[in-house]
Structure 1
Amino acid sequence: MEGKEKLFNKGFISITLVNFLVFLVYYLLMVIIAVVAQENLGATLSQAGLASGIYVIGTLLARLYVGKKLEVLGRRQTLRVGIVLYFITTLMYLYMPSLMVLYIVRLLNGFFYGTVSTATNAIVTEYIPLSRRGEGINYYGLSTSLAAAIGPFLGMLLLQATSIDFIVMMSSVILAFTVAGCLMLKVNNLDLTKDQRALADSWKINTFIDSKVVFIATIAFVMGLAYSSVLSFLASYVETIDLVSVSSFFFVVYALVITVTRPMAGRIFDRYGENSVMYPSYLFLAIGLFVLSITTSAWELLFSGALIGLGYGTFMSNGQAVALHLEKDVSRVGVALSTYFVGLDLGIGVGPYVLGALRNFVDFKQMYLIAAVLPIICGILYKLFYKGAKD
């Protein structure tokens, strides 16, 4: 029994490492795309923005389609084909003769990134003991958070010291090793019943979207919307409050807080249930954004980073654990997780446009104050409408 409850088994460690490397390349490339578009291809700021945004469209398409078809196509085959094509489309950044080619490559690269991450999100559940699901998902989610901290930092450093081609080649080498790892990784496919296959082959909306997960995905959308204010506008905001010199440490503090607290949050989730971590995540994000809105000093900026890490960082992984908790049918895990991440990705993707439009009427401080209200709304909606999973 003790062996069955072991969390850090070979499969769990391997798929978590694969996830880290996939996300690391995603963030490495994200840093250079605007530079490629503007400096090499003469793109305007809005055209460079489209080059970033079209990637999200590719990712969302993959999450919807691959999430629905994952078990029919097979987890093993989806992971292997996805990672090979992610590698190939990453190499294609070396040849960028026009903006249109860049858009096409970004769309394809986003699709295969979404394919791989959808597969890894489902595969990791196979290696996590049910009694330690919250803890396991939080450790797994840590790989994403660390990549989000290391990737942009490394990308900016390399962009100043080397060239765009060097970063693409480095990303491709990382993915080449990841391809080798995925080909060697033992992944089991599910044996589907005739009814389960028929459901996956159907084009009804419920085969793309898991109705049990729609509510938590909606909450994820609003939380992503709130957090996008940090991702998109922090660099501009710190200029207005003269804190540019310490702003680079904001995400370092954010990542450190997540690294320390996520395993603890996972254990609390397993022992006391989802509400014990979900409510604090709404509260911490709201307070973090409020502190950000009134920040005038370096310590306040870094303190807000810690609070936002406690809030959004905790929500991201535990929202995923809630989605898994809600869907009992193992053949629907792919659909459940893709539904959750579609909500999260949409919030992050739509947020800059919505908040950017809002920014025309209010200043940065007021915008962050408004963003701070969104997690409170999430907490109220969660209290009113979340019924939990039926065991």
Structure 2
Amino acid sequence: MNKPKLWTKDFISISLSNFFLFLTFYILLVTLPIYALEEFNSSASQAGLMTTVFLLSAIISRPLAGQWLERAGGKKVLLTALIIFSAASLLYFFPTSITGFLIIRLLHGIGFGMATTAAGAIVADLIPGKRRGEGMGYFVMSTNLAMVLGPFIGLTTIQQWGANTMFVLSVIVAIGALLTGLSVKLTKQVQPEQLVIRSSFSFRSFFEESAVPIALVGSFLAIVYSALLSFVSVYANEIHLAEVASLFFVVYAVVLLISRPFTGKWFDQFGPNVIVFPSIILFSIGMFILSISNGAGSFLLSAALIGLGWGTLFPTFQTIAIQNAAPRKRGLATATFLSIYDIGIALGSFLVGLMVTKMDYSSLYFLSAFYVLIGAVLYYFLHVRKSAQQEVTGKKNVMIKES
């Protein structure tokens, strides 16, 4: 029996749009703090606000985008978001103060939050149900590749050709996200009976409840991932491995590329538990090896294990969030998952920043290895046990109806 087709034109287009979206994000993520420090003589805390304001606006906009997706469909939300995102990219040439830049970052974050939510919901509809684990894995890999290429391209551009060239490049890449998004054609339309009209404001209407438990697990583990994003290069300098620091996320991405065809298929064939528990263990072992690294070999080995562990966990968790929701709630489920996940990243950056004033990076990563294992317990109680209880309840209800 032939498998349903995964690599359609629309799947490739939305994956490319997501790649360009995140590539713009990472190009600016690593360069704007440098630009703020040099151009405006801002403080380190002001430069850090470049990222904080962006992420906060993205987090706030996602639930709103998720509700809009439920009412209007993915294509309209995606194109609106990408237009906002591209327009904001054009505005970076004009501010003459740090305040002006922060206002643009606020607008840019709104476009980013809406676009990533819409893209996640659209791809969930495009992927055949029997290949959802595999498809989501490949889709998320476009984010991972942007994470590797973005910082390298951004830093190289601003160092070699200056900030204006870097801003031109970010505009070109953002327009690439818009153009590839435009080429996506959705056959599934929102039906009138699927529209939910609410007469009054409800906080719960902005979140999909079924996605919250797995999102909390992802957010819990994202705190450790934020420690890697923020400080792994600093740690490499501390242990005299600065020359291989830039290879950490390259190895991470290469392992993802090699493993993705297998892990996604295993999810579809055997379910998430077969993937999640081993991945958490690999993530923990990777953090432990990182904490005791004293050479390039062990440092890059940790990157490979973390890539195989956390790099597999994130798309698995997002797939679970989507599968647990009703079809018309997938956009809201995507928004819920990503919002709670980003809170973990933001909270982690803050907490880890406080912790490194009290301990060295080696100790931080050593403790993180055991913290990650707690994630397995959290996953069991919030997902495995809860799913089993729901299955038993469902069977009882069926038996009652039949009798």
Q: What range describes the TM-score normalised by the shorter chain of this pair?
A: over 0.9
Identity %: 33
Gaps spanning 5+ residues in structure 2: where?
395-403
Matches of 1:136 and 1:89 in 2, distance apart? 30
2:79 maps to what in 1?
A: 80
Equivalent position amino acid for 1:367 in 2? L
Counterpart amino acid of residue 224 in structure 1: A
Amino acid at match of 1:249: L
1:189: Cα distance to partner? 5.7
Tell me the amino acid that sits aligned with residue 66 of structure 1: A
- Tell me, in whole angstroms, the C-alpha distance in 2 between the residues paired with 1:194 and 1:128: 23
2:279 counterpart of 1:276: no
Amino acid at match of 2:7: F
CA distance in 1, matches of 2:183, 2:377: 46
Equivalent in the alignment of 1:371: 368
Structure-2-length-normalised TM-score: 0.92
Q: How far, CA to CA, are the matches of 1:31 and 1:133 in structure 2?
A: 33
- Quick one: distance in 1 between partners of 2:234 and 2:190? 51
Alignment of 1:105-254 (within 5 A): 105-188=104-187, 190-193=189-192, 196-199=195-198, 202-254=200-252
Paired residues, number: 388
Q: CA RMSD in A?
A: 1.7
| Change in 2 beyond 3 A, CA 1:292/1:202 | farther
Residue number among 351, 354, 368 corresponding to 1:354 in the alignment:
351
The one-letter code sitting in structure 2 at the alignment partner of 1:377 is I
Greater shift in the superposed pair: 264-273 or 32-41: 32-41
| Cα displacement (A) at 1:218 | 0.6
**What secondary structure does 1:371 align onto?**
helix
Q: 1:195 to 1:202 in 2, by over 3 A?
A: farther
- The amino acid that maps onto 2:21 is V
Q: Deviation at 1:81?
A: 1.3
1:59 is matched with 58
Which residue, 265, 286, 289 being the options, matches 1:288? 286
Residue type at the aligned position of 1:292: L
> Which amino acid in the other structure matches residue 136 of structure 1?
G
Give, in whole Å, the separation in 2 of the partners of 1:363 and 1:174: 38
- Partners of 2:183 and 2:276 lie apart in 1 by 37
CA shift for structure 1 position 233:
1.1
Deviation by residue 1:60-102 (Cα, 9 ceiling, x = unmatched): 0121110122131331111111111110100111112111111
Q: For residue 357 of structure 1, what is the amino acid of its counterpart?
A: L
Larger mean Cα displacement after TM superposition, 381-390 or 309-318: 381-390
User: In 2, distance between residues paired with 1:175 and 1:186?
Assistant: 20
For residue 360 of structure 1, report the CA deviation from its aligned partner: 2.1
Task: Provide the C-alpha distance between the structure 2 equivalents of 1:177 and 1:23, rounded to a whole number of angstroms.
Answer: 11
Q: Give the equivalent residue in structure 2 for 1:34.
A: 33
Structural mapping, 1:19-30, within 5 Å: 19-30=18-29
Q: Provide the C-alpha distance between the structure 2 equivalents of 1:159 and 1:195, rounded to a whole number of angstroms.
A: 48
Q: Which residue of 1 aligns with 2:260?
A: 262
Change (3 A) 1:202 1:19: farther
* Deviation (angstroms), 1:385: 3.3
Cα distance in 2, alignment partners of residues 179 and 289 from structure 1: 37
Q: Which residue matches 1:383?
A: 380
Q: Given that residues 71 and 189 in structure 1 are in contact (C-alpha distance below 8 angstroms), is that contact kept between their aligned partners in structure 2?
A: no
AA partner of residue 332 (structure 2): V
